[in-house]
Structure 1
């Protein structure tokens, strides 16, 4: 049974989610403030954290920032509708995905399953992937640049691996969303774009120029070394 931590000051919501998730095979622990939430998220006792952004004590974004400095645990953030800036900031800091409130519990459960499925993936049949100064090991889900760890989140690793394996080919935003996030691309959905931006920052430019190109109206392309400029 996967243990899930929810950090939200809405006690009634937490109670309802605990009942619902238990029927889906999850064990839910709920805490209601940022200080305790950060402490429990760092305990290594959970497979995933559901994090509300509006919290007493320490705000959700600060919890996420401090958590990411020490742990790669998958994080699904909850935001009120209209908090577009906070959603983007959460993704930039390292959240895997977000669900806006109010939400359908079935959607939340689907997002949880998609994140856990991705974070637990191993690719025993796929050997290490080397692309110039970038090295990826699908089995350990470790990525490095010139031998130095990139400290990618689970979703960033999956996204970079997909782009590298399709180097020289355009991968649409729809394909990336379905393959990496396990869901359909929604209207005004910028989750993949923010994750690509995060990867670009961690990789930096190559000596030949841009590594990941944006293809207007389509998606992204990892530039083969022979074509980078």
Structure 2
């Protein structure tokens, strides 16, 4: 585990069990702090929210369900509920409480460590910065007839936009010159293949200037043109 150690609050009124869990969690590389009273634990959570709360259901001062409910009003901190009542499980994991996991007594301290590690791994996967995909880099706004690449808006004519938009919707599909004509000329005027080629040439130039010269619009000999997204 790199960086600052994750802080885990153990809210458990069985002192011997709480201290045992503390020892196991610290041996696994976490910071751990125990609270034997629910009200005191909740005050601590408000002052400094930990990375994980291991929360017993039955507590003096303030029970675990109430602590979880009130904590959810200001924090999404992961909560693992501890219960001896199997029938409470559905309620603990439901929307009313918002617990992330549960464990039933009696349990092994090693199981708690394993649950904590699994939960943190899950969160780390969710929080990994996402690498922009080709679809993220190229944005098409049909209502405004705008195309932007990496935040740079291209100066396309109406015909160029319509041509790009139809190919963009189905990457890899080959469109014949006639299909492109039918798409961009709604009045069914008669134009030559060279007219379409000229539009494609200008469109390619504008796309290439914004995307390092890559040919997003590719020629397919004897068939027409297709749009190929940039590689991720």
For normalisation by structure 2, the TM-score amounts to 0.51
Cα shift readout 1:148-199 (whole Å, capped 9, x = no counterpart) = xxxxxxxxxxxxxxxxxxxxxxxxxxxxxxxxxxxxxxxxxxxxxxxxxxxx
RMSD: 2.1
Does 1:33 find its partner at 2:37? yes
CA distance in 2, matches of 1:120, 1:39: 27
Does 1:71 find its partner at 2:75? yes
Q: Name segments (4+ residues, structure 1) moved above 4 Å.
A: 126-130
Give the number of aligned pairs.
Answer: 128
Structure 1 residue ranges without an equivalent (≥5): 131-229
| 2:44 aligned counterpart, secondary structure | helix
For normalisation by structure 1, the TM-score amounts to 0.52
Once the two structures are TM-superposed, the CA of residue 36 in structure 1 deviates from its matched residue by 1.0
Task: Considering fraction of residues, name the structure with more strand.
Answer: 1
Larger Rg: 2
Cα shift readout 1:68-126 (whole Å, capped 9, x = no counterpart) = 1111000001011xx13322211111000001111111111110011112223323235
**Are the aligned partners of 1:42 and 1:71 in contact in 2 as well (CA < 8 Å)?**
no
Residue of structure 2 equivalent to 1:112: 116
Residue of structure 2 equivalent to 1:50: 54
Q: How does 1:158-169 map to 2 (within 5 A)?
A: none
Structure 2 residue ranges without an equivalent (≥5): 137-232
CA distance in 2, matches of 1:100, 1:33: 20
CA distance in 2, matches of 1:54, 1:10: 10
CA distance in 2, matches of 1:123, 1:34: 34
